[in-house]
């Protein structure tokens, strides 16, 4: 091999290696502070789409139009840019969807950046909105709740409440929800679980990794969303900003009474610099096989 060809190959190899060591940092600026996030390589369609929209300034001046304390904050509807007070939002987008990229390694712990979408009846493929996203706030969850399979438990509850003898339990849950005591209602439902399983014969359990169990019981999140929505990134700085936005007063449609606008920027940095600046450590490559 001549020296010129060898030099070209070496340059190509070095360039490729350096390129692999870089990543994008997303900054979502609000009046309550900035949230800094990274986007996952294992969800390439979502990552490329979000970066594209951010570079085009698509998100600038859009609202966080849906906020539920203890759950999540949602934005990215282009109709929100010039929306009047009280206007219903949540249906807008860029005119396309993004194929689901549900990676088991990534779940809905606090700070997870995920794609909004239409429900399963309208959208059985679980395709994501082209622009709308939500950031999980969630809450700390008991080990029993984390290990409960939502689909199996819902099936068991339906059978349980079809028995007239269990009407008093149903009435108690209904009263708690009507009074706005959702946490107490959830706790009451979980206390019913052994009784529900015994009567229906349905074991509503699932295996949970130690990492996921630790995250949900110490940091919190929304495990009921796992496997249903694409998690494509994570807030690595500014978790307190999520809390500040989530606690704002909202109307009956969960829209904040006071507009909360965003400006989204992206910057390419070396992964080493990202780790140094934000204390984030890149996880091992995930299995991209969908659930």
Pull the structure tokens for residue 49: 């789409």
Pull the structure tokens for residue 83: 């929306």
Query: Do 123 and 189 reside in the same domain of the chain?
Result: no
Kind and range of the H or E run holding 158:
helix 150-161
Supply the CATH number for residue 44's domain.
2.40.100.10
* Residue 87 lies in domain: 21-141+209-278
Query: Do 134 and 154 reside in the same domain of the chain?
Result: no
pLDDT at 19: 47
Residue ranges of the chain with per-residue pLDDT less than 50: 13-19, 288, 290-291
Backbone region of residue 221 per phi and psi (left: phi > 0; alpha: psi in -120 to 50; beta: other values): left
Give the 3-state secondary structure of residue 85. Answer: coil
Query: Do 180 and 251 reside in the same domain of the chain?
Result: no
pLDDT at 283: 73
Query: Do 113 and 176 reside in the same domain of the chain?
Result: no
- CB atoms near residue 174 (< 10 Å): 11
Pull the structure tokens for residue 98: 């993004």
pLDDT at 164: 95
pLDDT at 291: 47
- CB atoms near residue 34 (< 10 Å): 13
- CB atoms near residue 180 (< 10 Å): 9
pLDDT tens, 230-241? 999 999 999 999
Q: Is residue 285 part of a domain?
A: no
Distance (Å, rounded) from C-alpha 221 to C-alpha 134? 12
pLDDT at 275: 94
Query: Do 163 and 242 reside in the same domain of the chain?
Result: no
Q: Is residue 287 part of a domain?
A: no
Distance (Å, rounded) from C-alpha 163 to C-alpha 156? 11
Query: Do 62 and 125 reside in the same domain of the chain?
Result: yes
Q: What is the pTM of this model?
A: 0.84
Query: Do 110 and 234 reside in the same domain of the chain?
Result: yes
Where do we find the tokens 């009507």?
A: 178
Residue 281 has phi, psi (to 5 degrees) of: -115, 125
């Amino acid at each position: 091999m001549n020296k010129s060809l060898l030099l070209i190959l070496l340059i190509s190899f070095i360039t490729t290696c350096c390129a692999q060591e870089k990543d994008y940092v997303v900054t979502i600026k609000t009046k309550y502070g900035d949230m800094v996030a990274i986007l996952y390589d294992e969800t390439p369609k979502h990552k490329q789409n979000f970066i594209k929209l951010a570079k085009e300034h698509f998100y600038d001046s859009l609202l966080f139009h849906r906020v539920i304390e203890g759950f999540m904050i949602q934005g990215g509807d282009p109709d929100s840019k010039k929306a009047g007070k009280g206007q219903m939002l949540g249906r807008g987008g860029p005119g396309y969807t993004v194929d689901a990229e549900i990676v088991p390694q990534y779940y809905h712990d606090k700070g997870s950046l995920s794609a909004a979408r239409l429900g399963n009846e309208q959208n059985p493929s679980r395709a994501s909105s082209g622009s709308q996203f939500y950031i999980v706030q969630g809450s700390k969850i008991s080990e029993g709740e984390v290990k409960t399979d939502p689909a199996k438990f819902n099936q068991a509850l339906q059978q349980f409440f079809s028995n007239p003898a269990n009407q008093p339990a149903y009435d108690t849950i209904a009263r708690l929800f009507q009074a706005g005591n959702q946490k107490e209602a959830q706790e009451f439902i979980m206390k019913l679980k052994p009784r529900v399983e015994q009567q229906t014969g349905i074991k509503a359990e699932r295996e949970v990794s130690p990492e996921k169990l630790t995250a949900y019981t110490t940091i919190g999140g929304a495990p009921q969303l796992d496997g249903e929505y694409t998690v494509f990134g994570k807030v690595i700085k500014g978790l307190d900003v999520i809390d500040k936005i989530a606690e704002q007063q909202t109307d009956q449609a969960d829209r904040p009474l006071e507009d909360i606008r965003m400006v989204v920027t992206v910057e390419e940095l070396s992964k080493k610099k990202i780790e140094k600046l934000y204390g984030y450590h890149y996880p091992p490559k995930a299995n991209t096989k969908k659930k």
